[in-house]
């Protein structure tokens, strides 16, 4: 089956005065129709830049230097801004952490939503308004007629994010890229929005890339996880399998630092050390200086390899089921 999205060896670098920051350095991803991928990693690992690259939204001093982004068979890197402009907002939509990246503070919600519909489709204002109304209902906003006549500042943070999600859904996109959209919201609202987005994607067959530093958020949402570290994917596979049995020591560290499901007051583990500066990456495995398993073999840069069926990891000392059991007992 042809993938909806096939990213191959994508490199997006920032050419700064202090040197070249390889924010995305050889990322490959595949996403099928309706699939949900969680892109996780600590701050600065290159998750957002990956998302922005897929939408052609990387600004100088950054640029996509090489690789291929095939969306529904269209090469977006070769096609450049022209190919992207026809898809962005229509077949590929983005939801940002700050809904005000989507919303215009000085326009009423109906004006913005109607304009969004009419930007890609020749429909009457009344039809566009009805579509906007339905989209608000879909994301759980009650009294949609009244809400349409409001300005963004008249909404709570959670409601504003729902409106931004409704805008992303207006054209029933094939793919939504969501960059930490619930991070600023309290946990109850987060859970509600996650459940709604999951339901909407299932209903419409929309694929989703959910970018987050919080493994707990995506563990119940994503079909597959891709874990990023210093611009690269270090582990990829089905969510349930990764959570139950992480292969890469970094993923294992991320899981150990999640409070979810652990008794109140229990100690959480921290991954030692700091994320490295992209301008000064260690040679070989970039995680080695923080890794409890590192030894001389890690001086060689590991490749992303299949360690078990459907399970990829970039590590020469991967955890396996046997070691997992031994270390947990
Ligand atoms: N405008 C920029 N100029 C220079 N370097 C940048 C710029 N934007 C991003 N970078 C580099 O890319 C790296 C990855 O950034 P990115 O925003 O993708 O990280 P992230 O994993 O999404 O983290 P966060 O959750 O904090 O956004 C940054 O650490 C920085 O080195």
pLDDT tens-digit profile of 91-114?
A: 999 999 889 988 999 999 999 999
Reported confidence tier of residue 130, pLDDT bands at 50, 70, 90: very high
Task: Please name the residue that has the structure tokens 């050889």.
Answer: 26
Over residues 5-33, the pLDDT tens digits come to 999 999 999 999 999 999 999 999 999 99
Question: What are the beta bridge partners of residue 47?
Answer: none
Q: Which atom of ligand 1 is nearest to the CA of 52?
A: 18
The values of phi and psi at residue 61, to 5°, are -85, 15
User: DSSP letter at 88?
Assistant: B
Q: Which atom of ligand 1 is nearest to the CA of 16?
A: 4
Helix (H) and strand (E) counts in the chain = 11, 12
CA of residue 272 to ligand 1 center, whole Å: 21
CA of residue 314 to ligand 1 center, whole Å: 21
How is residue 170 written in tokens? 């207006």
Q: Which atom of ligand 1 is nearest to the CA of 59?
A: 1
Whether 21 lines ligand 1, by a CB cut-off of 6 Å, is yes
Lowest mean pLDDT among 116-120, 130-134, 182-186, 253-257: 182-186
Whether 41 lines ligand 1, by a CB cut-off of 6 Å, is yes
How is residue 140 written in tokens? 């759980």
Looking at every residue in the chain, the average pLDDT score rounds to 90
How is residue 182 written in tokens? 């619930």
How is residue 161 written in tokens? 């994010």
Looking at the chain, list the stretches that DSSP marks H as alpha helix, in order from N- to C-terminal side. 47-54, 76-87, 109-120, 125-138, 144-148, 157-169, 187-204, 215-219, 239-244, 249-256, 321-328
- CA–CA distance, 297 with 317 (Å, rounded to integer): 9
Over residues 220-236, the pLDDT tens digits come to 899 999 999 999 999 99
Whether 185 lines ligand 1, by a CB cut-off of 6 Å, is no
Higher pLDDT, 58 or 259: 58
Whether 24 lines ligand 1, by a CB cut-off of 6 Å, is no
Output the pLDDT for position 265: 61
Output the pLDDT for position 324: 47
CA of residue 268 to ligand 1 center, whole Å: 27
Rg (CA), the chain: 21
Q: What residue ranges in the chain does DSSP mark as E strands?
A: 5-16, 19-31, 36-40, 62-71, 74-75, 92-95, 175-179, 207-212, 224-229, 232-238, 305-308, 311-313
> Taking a C-beta distance cutoff of 8 angstroms, is the pair 236, 225 a contact?
yes
Q: Whose CA is nearest to atom 4 of ligand 1?
A: 14
Question: What are the beta bridge partners of residue 177?
Answer: 94, 209
pLDDT at 61 over 70: yes
Output the pLDDT for position 302: 96
Residue % of the chain over a pLDDT of 70: 95
Whether 16 lines ligand 1, by a CB cut-off of 6 Å, is yes
ipTM for this model? 0.96
pLDDT at 256 over 70: yes
- CA–CA distance, 24 with 26 (Å, rounded to integer): 6
Question: What are the beta bridge partners of residue 74?
Answer: 71
Q: Which of 10, 23, 25, 182 should be mutated for ligand 1, with most atoms under 8 A from CB?
A: 23
Q: What residue ranges in 163-269 does DSSP mark as E strands?
A: 175-179, 207-212, 224-229, 232-238
- CA–CA distance, 140 with 45 (Å, rounded to integer): 33
Q: Which atom of ligand 1 is nearest to the CA of 213?
A: 25
Whether 44 lines ligand 1, by a CB cut-off of 6 Å, is yes
How is residue 138 written in tokens? 């879909």
pTM of the model: 0.91
- CA–CA distance, 328 with 98 (Å, rounded to integer): 39
Three-state DSSP state, 97: coil
Over residues 276-313, the pLDDT tens digits come to 999 989 999 999 999 999 999 999 999 999 999 999 99
CA of residue 52 to ligand 1 center, whole Å: 11
Whether 278 lines ligand 1, by a CB cut-off of 6 Å, is yes
> Taking a C-beta distance cutoff of 8 angstroms, is the pair 54, 39 a contact?
no
CA of residue 180 to ligand 1 center, whole Å: 14
Output the pLDDT for position 195: 87
Other CB atoms within a 10 A radius of the CB of residue 102 amount to 23
How many whole angstroms from its chain centre is CA 174? 15
> Taking a C-beta distance cutoff of 8 angstroms, is the pair 164, 95 a contact?
yes
Whether 144 lines ligand 1, by a CB cut-off of 6 Å, is no
Whether 14 lines ligand 1, by a CB cut-off of 6 Å, is yes
Whether 47 lines ligand 1, by a CB cut-off of 6 Å, is yes
């Amino acid at each position: 089956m042809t993938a909806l999205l096939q990213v191959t060896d994508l490199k997006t670098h920032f050419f700064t005065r202090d040197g070249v920051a390889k924010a995305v350095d050889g990322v490959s991803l595949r996403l099928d129709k309706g699939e949900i991928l969680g892109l996780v990693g600590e701050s600065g690992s290159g998750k957002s830049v990956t998302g922005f690259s897929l939408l052609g939204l990387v600004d100088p001093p950054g640029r996509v230097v090489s690789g291929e982004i095939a969306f529904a068979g269209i090469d977006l890197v070769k096609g450049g801004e022209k190919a992207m402009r026809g898809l962005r907002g229509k077949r590929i939509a983005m939801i940002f952490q700050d809904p005000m990246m989507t919303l215009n503070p000085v326009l009423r919600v109906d004006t913005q939503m109607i304009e969004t519909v009419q930007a890609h489709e020749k429909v009457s204002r009344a039809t566009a308004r009805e579509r906007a109304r339905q989209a608000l209902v879909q994301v759980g906003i009650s009294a949609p007629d009244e809400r349409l006549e409001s300005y963004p500042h008249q909404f709570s943070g959670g409601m504003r994010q729902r409106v931004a999600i409704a805008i992303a859904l207006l054209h029933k996109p094939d793919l939504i890229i969501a960059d930490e959209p619930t991070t600023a919201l309290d946990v109850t609202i987060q859970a509600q929005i996650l459940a709604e987005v999951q339901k909407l994607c299932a209903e419409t067959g929309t694929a989703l890339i959910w970018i987050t530093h919080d493994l707990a958020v995506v563990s119940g949402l994503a079909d597959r996880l891709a874990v990023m570290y210093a611009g690269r994917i270090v582990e990829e596979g089905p969510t349930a399998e990764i959570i139950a049995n992480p292969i890469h020591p970094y993923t294992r560290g991320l899981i150990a630092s999640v409070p979810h499901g652990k008794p109140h007051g229990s100690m959480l583990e921290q991954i030692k050390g700091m994320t490295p500066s992209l301008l000064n990456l260690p040679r070989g495995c970039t995680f080695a200086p923080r890794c409890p398993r590192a030894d001389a073999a890690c001086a060689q840069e590991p490749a992303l390899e299949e360690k078990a069926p459907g399970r990829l990891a970039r590590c020469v000392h991967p955890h396996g089921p046997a070691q997992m059991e031994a270390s947990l007992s």
